[in-house]
Amino acid sequence: MPYRVVKRLLTSLRRSLTVLGLLPFKPKAFVVSTVLFRLLSLVLLLSLLPMAGAEAQTGAFSLPNIGDLQKKLSGAGPEQGDSQSESKSDKPGGNTPEREQLEQTLALRQEIEANREQIESLNARKQQAPMERNRLQKQLNQARQDRERDWQSRYQGLSLEALGEALGQQLDALEENQQTLAKVSGELTRAQTLPERAQSTISDSLARTDDIRRRLNQENEALADVEETQLRTELIALEVRIELRNQELSVASTLEELARLRKRILEAQTQVIQARLDALQSMIHERRDESLSAEIGSDQLDLSESLAGNPKLKAARSANDELREQLKNTANDVSTLIREVIDAETLLDRTRALSSTVNDQIQMLDGSLLLSRILYEQQKSLPQFKAREGLEKQITEARLIRFDIRQKLQELESQNTTLADNLDLDEEQQQQLRNGLQRLADNRVDLLNQLDQELGRKLNILVRLNLSQEQLSKLTNSLHNAISEQTFWMPSTQPLSLTWFVAFPGQVVKQVESVPWQRMKENGIEIVQEKWHWLFLPIILASGLLLLRPRLHRQIKALNGDIGYLRRDSQRHTPLAIFYTVILCAPGPLLLSLLGWELWVQSGTLSTVLGAALVKIALLWLVFELCYRLLAGDGIAQRHFSWSVDSNRQLRRRLLAVGLTMVPMTLVIAFGQEWPAQLSNDRIGLVTIVAGLVVIGVMLTRAVLAYPVQNHSRTLRSGAICLSAGIPLVLVGLIVVGYYFTSVRLSGRMIDTFYFALLWLLVDATAVRGLAVAAQRLAYKRAVAERKAEPKDTVEGVEVEEPQLDLHQVNQQSLRLLRLGLLVLFGVLLYWVWADVINAFSYTNTIVLWESTEGSGINATTSPISLGDVMTALAIGVGTVILVGNLPGLLEVLLLSRLSLKQGANYAITTLLSYTIVVIGVIITLGALGLSWSKLQWLVAALGVGLGFGLQEIFANFISGIIILFERPVRIGDVITIGELSGTVSRIRIRATTIIDFDRKEIIIPNKVFVTERLVNWSLSDTVTRATLKVGFAYGSDLQDCHDVLAKAAADNARVLRDPEPLILFMAFGASTLDHELRVYIGEIGDILFAINELNRAIDANARELGVEIAFNQLDIHLRSTAEGVSLNGVTTEAESQSTAHYHDEQKASSRSAPGEGDD
């Protein structure tokens, strides 16, 4: 702003203040007035500075030329302001900040030019809009007139070939018209959503404009020339962008009107093309019939009566008639296929237009409640497409038929000169016959050529139809998945707040009033009046099942009475009892489900919603009535599964409450699935779902607590409790934050999953009981066999009922295999239930959290890491943990237990498998997060070096553990001695090995000790152990008797091996004994203590029997009396006595003592 303008404003301000009396013009007040005026002037200047700065920014700045910017980027532009700029511009390939700013400036400059051209184009279109409207209206009127024209009379003079060419042209025109219609539909959608897009763009542009001006006005920040140019160019680009959006808003209604007219014109032209196609198909069919009739007349030959019945002529006429019939059928197939192609391509183009519209709406209205309502309606309008089956087979057959036709044509061409040779006719008759056959052959050639052409058309149409159906199927599935993902991940209602609760009563009244009660009543009366005969089948079936109830009760009672008696009980008792119980429960659910299905298939939203609700309630009724009957007193759960009466009573009450709660929830879920667009205004259903989820969470948790855990681990029970309480709570939280539709979908899947969980428990309990019955019958057969082998002292004829064995005696291996099969089966069923929800999680792949860079330099590439990748990594981690905990044990049950492996090999294999699973799981998890091995190898190397020095002992124990698992110097179950410790190896872990000593104490020894110190493994390769017993006989004993005592003791002991044979040695003459040694070999290390005990007892008994004395230690006492008064053997002396005792004791110890020998 120029200085004179500011001065003029200040002078005007002073005069105004003086006139108003705010600045009195008096000599005494002159100083005060002058000061006040200066202060006001300063305030005015400060307020005008931003305006002056903005004026200077936009007024004095000139946009850079596009050519100059391109030259600077290429390094051939004018010299920069300083040497540093020149050095940077000389490196066009470098990715410097200055180059990036130049590139941004160039892009902004090009955007400015493009937007200005669009503004001029919009102004021109606005001026030409009236003329364009009139032109389009004329085209629409012309299309309507063409639609009513008699096209069949117009094509009357065309030949069959010309009609076929015209048909192909009209098909191409239809395809082109449909593509144009899809583009115009997209333009109409963009015109309809233009206000929202323009408002968003203008808001963002204004915010960015304020930021740029604020940065340009900051005096303390010195901007480089290139950066300042870039910011000022961006400022102008934003202004032009705002101007463009305002111009678009001004012509939005006009553009929408023109686009709507174009769409109506294209739709009318489509109808015209279809009318032409119908006329052409009719004409082609008519002309083909005429051609075939004419060809039939051409087969009529003027021959004598003797030649008219010639077999070759009859065969030729019959072959031609078959070709005509085949040609007629092929023509009819072509007409039918053309209509299917038209329908498929029309549907394909409509689906493409719908897909384009949906994508535009998602981009323009992302995150708004309006988008959720629109998508709900679009989801209901998705095309119902049923593909024609067997197209690939028909294409192959058409090609084979064309190949056969060409082969026949070649044969006819080669046989045209030898049609009637060697016939028993005169020359004239032969010539007539030859001419007749030649004429029929010529007709056949024409027919084959026509059939070949028609098959070619059929083949092309089949290929086109197949391609259209494939595209339509893919596009429909893609569109369905896209809408499902969007509706699943976007809010459908306002979050629950205080305002929502205040408005709740009024919204409920409004919702009740908006229900079309009168129309529902009329529809119900109409259905009953028109479809009353539908009630016959459900009522008849339900009545028949009700009549069977007394008989079914007797059957179930008889089956329950056989339980526990092995001669009458069998594995099929429980499945039969459950089947009869299902039939008992079936009448009501069957009647309700059939009525619901009949309503479901009717047209109309209300009928569909009510039918779906009745079907779901019928299934709910069947499931919970079945549970109620199974848990009854003296019912199947008590008699067959041995569940306690108290648990059954509690489960029955809890499940009854859950079932009653699910009834209104099922109605709301069916309503939400069939009519999702109305969920945004549904208040009654929302409260119903919330209350139902709370009740279900409480009651299911109590039901899980009451469920008997005799056949299931407490870990599974704890997980079931967490799921029962946590899932309803999460669903309630989703409703609170506005994801009502998502919660309704998940609630439906939760109820279905609950049904499968109940079915799982029922099948599992039935399988466990079946295995128990099999084990009981096997045990009973063995007992009977043993009893037959014994002498019969009892009176026969009395029925002996064996008591029922405990279920824990079931073969665990068979039970695990059975549960594995059930797990796979129910996993497939659960995937079928949750398939659409799982597909909705693919939306998380679009939520990018960070980017991962691969490579370096010019080869560097970035790959986005999305929320889906993180969830995949978490799933892999959880799966790894589950595999580590279960796969080794499962492998041991299924495979390793069937192989003849050495002791400890199973444990080594399963442990190494666990390590491998962990390593692979960690690598895959990190790879899903974008951390490849090329990035981790240096980190792993550095950590390896650092940890190797800092945690030497831990790494030494880890490597030693791996060495132990591979070399197996120690195995699970081995008896070892290391240092002063002895015991049995129980576990080999990563860091340490656990042994259990002979006092049943667990001792944890680091793995390094087993590698670095001396180790004695008593059972590594041979479990045979030598025991040495030392026995001292008294002097004077017979040495042969001494030998016999020891020999008999060794021979009579069953634990002593015969090979190597026992060894008896007379070792030495002791101080008071004749020292002997008995050396024997024991087969198992665990038997050595028992063997020594038994041998010692046997030696003592044999010595007594043979009269051999086992010596004991002798004690010599020498007395020296020096005083009296000491009494010895009745003799008393007065001398003081001193005694010296010499005690010689010899321990009898084993020359080789096994671990634990002295522990007894």
Predicted local confidence at residue 619, as pLDDT = 92
Strands (E), 997-1143: 1002-1006, 1015-1017, 1025-1033, 1063-1069, 1074-1082, 1116-1128, 1131-1142
Among 282-291, 626-635, 1120-1129, the least confident range:
1120-1129
Is residue 789 scored above 60 in pLDDT?
yes
In a domain, 949, yes or no: yes
Question: How do residues 157-214 score in pLDDT, each as one tens digit?
Answer: 777 778 878 887 887 888 788 778 878 877 787 777 777 777 778 888 888 888 888 8
Indicate whether 827 and 927 sit together in one domain. Answer: no
Rounded Cα distance, 1070 and 706, in Å: 75
Q: What is the mean pLDDT of residues 390-414?
A: 83
Predicted local confidence at residue 626, as pLDDT = 92
Q: Do residues 24 and 36 touch, judged by C-beta distance below 8 A?
A: no
Indicate whether 329 and 271 sit together in one domain. Answer: no
Is residue 368 scored above 50 in pLDDT?
yes
pLDDT band of residue 75 (cuts 50, 70, 90) is low
Rounded Cα distance, 1160 and 1157, in Å: 7
Closest CA to 262 of 177, 140, 353, 142: 140
Indicate whether 255 and 401 sit together in one domain. Answer: no
The larger pLDDT score, comparing residue 724 to residue 1158, is at 724
Among 66-75, 819-828, 838-847, 1004-1013, the least confident range:
838-847
Taking the CA of residue 862 as centre, how many other CA atoms within 13 Å lie in the half-sphere pointing to its CB?
Answer: 7
Predicted local confidence at residue 86, as pLDDT = 41
Closest CA to 890 of 947, 944, 823: 823
| Three-class DSSP category at 595 | helix
| DSSP for residue 1021 | S
Predicted local confidence at residue 623, as pLDDT = 92
Q: Residue 366 burial by CB count (10 A; 0-12/13-18/19+): exposed, middle or buried? A: exposed
Predicted local confidence at residue 26, as pLDDT = 41
Sheet holding 975-978, edge to edge: 1002-1006, 992-996, 981-988, 975-978, 1015-1017
Helices (H), 150-224: 151-154, 160-192, 194-216
Is residue 1148 scored above 50 in pLDDT?
no
Indicate whether 220 and 270 sit together in one domain. Answer: yes
Predicted local confidence at residue 59, as pLDDT = 47
Which one of 471, 489, 507 terminates a domain?
489
Is residue 16 scored above 50 in pLDDT?
no
Is residue 621 scored above 90 in pLDDT?
yes
Chain centroid, CA 612 distance in Å: 26
Predicted local confidence at residue 898, as pLDDT = 59
The larger pLDDT score, comparing residue 919 to residue 426, is at 919
Is residue 509 scored above 90 in pLDDT?
no
Rounded Cα distance, 224 and 541, in Å: 89
Is residue 2 scored above 50 in pLDDT?
no
Residue type, 38: R
pLDDT band of residue 805 (cuts 50, 70, 90) is very low
Indicate whether 231 and 289 sit together in one domain. Answer: yes
pLDDT band of residue 442 (cuts 50, 70, 90) is confident
Predicted local confidence at residue 1004, as pLDDT = 85
Which one of 459, 489, 519 terminates a domain?
489
String of b and e for 933-954 (b: at least 16 CB within 10 Å)?
eeeeeeeeeeeeeeeeeeeeee
pLDDT band of residue 607 (cuts 50, 70, 90) is confident
Q: What is the mean pLDDT of residues 1108-1122?
A: 71
Q: What is the mean pLDDT of residues 404-411?
A: 83
Q: Do residues 279 and 333 touch, judged by C-beta distance below 8 A?
A: no
* C-alpha distances out from residue 757 to 623, 700, 937, Å: 11, 12, 45
Closest CA to 476 of 387, 405, 392, 597: 387
In a domain, 92, yes or no: no
Rounded Cα distance, 1089 and 1095, in Å: 10
Is residue 584 scored above 70 in pLDDT?
yes
Instruction: Taking the CA atoms of 438, 444, 447 and 453 in sequence, report the sign of the dihedral they define.
Output: negative
Closest CA to 355 of 490, 197, 470, 183: 183
Predicted local confidence at residue 724, as pLDDT = 87
Q: Residue 835 burial by CB count (10 A; 0-12/13-18/19+): exposed, middle or buried? A: exposed
The larger pLDDT score, comparing residue 691 to residue 924, is at 691
Predicted local confidence at residue 947, as pLDDT = 61
Predicted local confidence at residue 253, as pLDDT = 83
Closest CA to 823 of 727, 887, 911: 887
Residue with tokens 């939520």: 847
The larger pLDDT score, comparing residue 117 to residue 1155, is at 117
Which one of 972, 989, 1015 terminates a domain?
1015
Among 705-714, 729-738, 865-874, the least confident range:
705-714
**Domain extent at residue 1061:** 1025-1111+1151-1159
Angle formed at CA 888 by CA 886 and CA 893, multiple of 5 degrees: 95
Predicted local confidence at residue 240, as pLDDT = 87
Predicted local confidence at residue 46, as pLDDT = 47
Strand partners, 863: 852
Among 37-41, 698-702, 804-808, 1019-1023, the least confident range:
804-808
Among 135-139, 612-616, 953-957, the least confident range:
953-957
Predicted local confidence at residue 250, as pLDDT = 83
Is residue 1151 scored above 80 in pLDDT?
no
Question: How do residues 860-882 score in pLDDT, each as one tens digit?
Answer: 667 777 877 888 888 888 888 87
Q: Do residues 338 and 171 touch, judged by C-beta distance below 8 A?
A: yes
Q: Which two tokens stand for residue 688?
A: 């119903």
Indicate whether 168 and 28 sit together in one domain. Answer: no
**How many Cβ atoms sit within 10 Å of the Cβ of residue 266?**
22
Q: What is the mean pLDDT of residues 335-352?
A: 81
Total domains, the chain: 6
Closest CA to 143 of 281, 264, 280: 264
Indicate whether 39 and 136 sit together in one domain. Answer: no
What CATH number corresponds to the domain at position 1036?
3.30.70.100
Rounded Cα distance, 1030 and 347, in Å: 103
Closest CA to 277 of 235, 223, 234, 339: 339
Rounded mean pLDDT of the chain? 75
Indicate whether 556 and 667 sit together in one domain. Answer: yes
Rounded Cα distance, 618 and 55, in Å: 76
In a domain, 1123, yes or no: no
Indicate whether 516 and 591 sit together in one domain. Answer: yes
Predicted local confidence at residue 907, as pLDDT = 65
Among 306-320, 499-513, 691-705, 778-792, the least confident range:
778-792
In which element (H, E) is residue 816 found? helix 812-840
Helices (H), 587-683: 587-600, 605-630, 636-639, 645-674
Rounded Cα distance, 417 and 274, in Å: 49
Rounded Cα distance, 877 and 23, in Å: 81
Q: Which residues contact 1116 (CB under 8 A, 6 or more apart)?
A: 1142, 1144
Question: How do residues 742-772 score in pLDDT, each as one tens digit?
Answer: 888 899 889 999 999 899 889 888 888 888 7
Rounded Cα distance, 260 and 258, in Å: 5
Q: Which residues contact 688 (CB under 8 A, 6 or more apart)?
A: 664, 665, 667, 668
Q: Which residues contact 447 (CB under 8 A, 6 or more apart)?
A: 295, 320, 323, 324, 327
In which element (H, E) is residue 863 found? strand 861-866
Name the CA radius of gyration of the chain, rounded.
50
Indicate whether 677 and 780 sit together in one domain. Answer: yes
Strand partners, 485: none
The region that residue 85 occupies, defined by phi over 0 for left and psi between -120 and 50 for alpha, beta otherwise, is: alpha
Closest CA to 635 of 578, 585, 582: 578
Rounded Cα distance, 287 and 1014, in Å: 105
Rounded Cα distance, 220 and 232, in Å: 18
Q: Residue 985 burial by CB count (10 A; 0-12/13-18/19+): exposed, middle or buried? A: buried
Q: Do residues 401 and 455 touch, judged by C-beta distance below 8 A?
A: yes
**How many Cβ atoms sit within 10 Å of the Cβ of residue 557?**
11
Q: Which residues contact 279 (CB under 8 A, 6 or more apart)?
A: 151, 152, 154, 155
| DSSP for residue 148 | T
Among 630-644, 918-932, 956-970, the least confident range:
956-970
Rounded Cα distance, 218 and 92, in Å: 31
Rounded Cα distance, 700 and 728, in Å: 10
Instruction: Taking the CA atoms of 708, 709, 710 and 711 in sequence, report the sign of the dihedral they define.
Output: positive
Indicate whether 992 and 1072 sit together in one domain. Answer: no
How many helices (H) and strands (E) would you count in the chain?
Answer: 34, 12
| Three-class DSSP category at 932 | coil
Q: Do residues 286 and 232 touch, judged by C-beta distance below 8 A?
A: no
Question: How do residues 107-165 score in pLDDT, each as one tens digit?
Answer: 888 888 888 888 888 888 888 888 888 888 888 888 888 878 878 777 777 777 788 78
In a domain, 367, yes or no: yes
pLDDT band of residue 618 (cuts 50, 70, 90) is very high
Q: What is the mean pLDDT of residues 1019-1023?
A: 72
**How many Cβ atoms sit within 10 Å of the Cβ of residue 633?**
10
Rounded Cα distance, 115 and 118, in Å: 5
Is residue 56 scored above 50 in pLDDT?
no
In a domain, 1117, yes or no: no
In a domain, 529, yes or no: yes
In a domain, 690, yes or no: yes
The larger pLDDT score, comparing residue 1077 to residue 105, is at 1077
Indicate whether 446 and 390 sit together in one domain. Answer: yes
In a domain, 925, yes or no: yes
What percent of the chain has pLDDT above 70?
74
Q: Do residues 1093 and 1158 touch, judged by C-beta distance below 8 A?
A: no
| DSSP for residue 602 | S
